[in-house]
Structure 1
Amino acid sequence: MNPFTCTLTPENYNTACDLAGSALLRRLPVASTILQITEDRAWNEFSTGVYIAADFENVIRYTGSAIRDGSVGDRVQEHVLSGRAAQWTRLMVVPLVADTEEDLVRTIEGRIGAVLRPLDTKRLPTLGRPRWPAARRTAR
């Protein structure tokens, strides 16, 4: 495993929740599958949040955020339909208070991505400008 990769552990999930600060709605320390999210609507109650996706080896592949009239699960469904979620087997959500400002949601997504270093995230929103995730760095 690449020394710069992170896995989806309870500790890493708690760190992600801590990075949400006062915008955190509550901790939901249970991983879900794509089917639980898209078919069983496990995340139906959350309209705003940051989601973290891991593969079969539990390596974090992607972080993203959603602010919508529907649910965060609807955003995950969009990834499924586009084929971008093919390697995702476990997902966790950091649910945020529904009226969290979009800029703050994106900042929280950037903070979480910078710490968890998802392999497949191309750019992270951070403090007003996108940046490459730390996972893109190579060891010397």
Structure 2
Amino acid sequence: MKRSTCTLTPENYNTACDLAGTALLRRIPAASTILQITEDGAWNEFSTGVYIAADFENVIRYTGSAIREGSVGDRVQEHVLRGRAARWTRLMVVPLAADTEEGLVRRIEGRIGTVLRPLDTKRLPTLGGPPRRPASRRASR
């Protein structure tokens, strides 16, 4: 059985940005590596946003969000330190306005995750209910 997967393409990134609506700060269409984010500070200017991680085959593995005093890159660093980012090779950020309310950030993360179906995300925020699993993946026949 083969899972239906989404890849980190410019089209999928643009869809993610569209799902952010008016909270979107701006589009950053270039992917970054873990080192660019954690060592070079590529995302240091963003304190709020949704990040999308893909593996070496460009398959989307994870979506997450950050709302913090530091940067979205600090959140990615936490994943690295806990060993959760071992398969991540390319990442993109959907930066949100710093004053975006936490509930809205989580709903945007849920919307993006529902559409992009990351393989390693176990639960997604929803529109007001308890977290839920990503959309089911049907086997190709």
User: Same fold by TM (over 0.5)?
Assistant: yes
The structure-2 alpha-carbon separation of the partners of 1:12 and 1:2, relative to structure 1 and needing over 3 Å to count, comes to farther
Equivalent residues in 2 for 1:56-75, closer than 5 Å: 56-75=56-75
Equivalent residues in 2 for 1:36-75, closer than 5 Å: 36-75=36-75
1 CA distance for matches of 2:53 and 2:11?
15
Greater mean deviation of Cα atoms: 121-130 or 43-52: 121-130
* Runs of 4+ with deviation above 2 angstroms: 136-140
Equivalent residues in 2 for 1:84-123, closer than 5 Å: 84-123=84-123
Q: CA deviation at 1:109?
A: 0.0
Q: CA deviation at 1:4?
A: 1.5
Q: CA deviation at 1:56?
A: 0.2
What TM-score, normalized by structure 1, do the two folds share? 0.96
What TM-score, normalized by structure 2, do the two folds share? 0.95
Q: One-letter code of the match for 1:131?
A: R
Greater mean deviation of Cα atoms: 120-129 or 89-98: 120-129
Is residue 8 of structure 2 the alignment partner of residue 4 of structure 1?
no
Is the contact made by 2:3 and 2:138 (CA closer than 8 Å) also made in structure 1? no
Is residue 23 of structure 2 the alignment partner of residue 16 of structure 1?
no
User: 1:112-132: CA deviations, max 9, x gaps?
Assistant: 000000000000001122111
Q: Which residue of 1 aligns with 2:82?
A: 82
Percent of pairs identical after alignment? 87
2 CA distance for matches of 1:28 and 1:37?
13
Q: CA deviation at 1:2?
A: 3.6
Higher strand share goes to which structure? 1
Q: Which runs of 5+ in 1 are unaligned?
A: none
Q: CA deviation at 1:138?
A: 3.3
Greater mean deviation of Cα atoms: 84-93 or 3-12: 3-12
Aligned residue pair count: 139
Q: CA deviation at 1:86?
A: 0.2
Helix, strand or coil: the match of 1:124? coil
Q: Which runs of 5+ in 2 are unaligned?
A: none
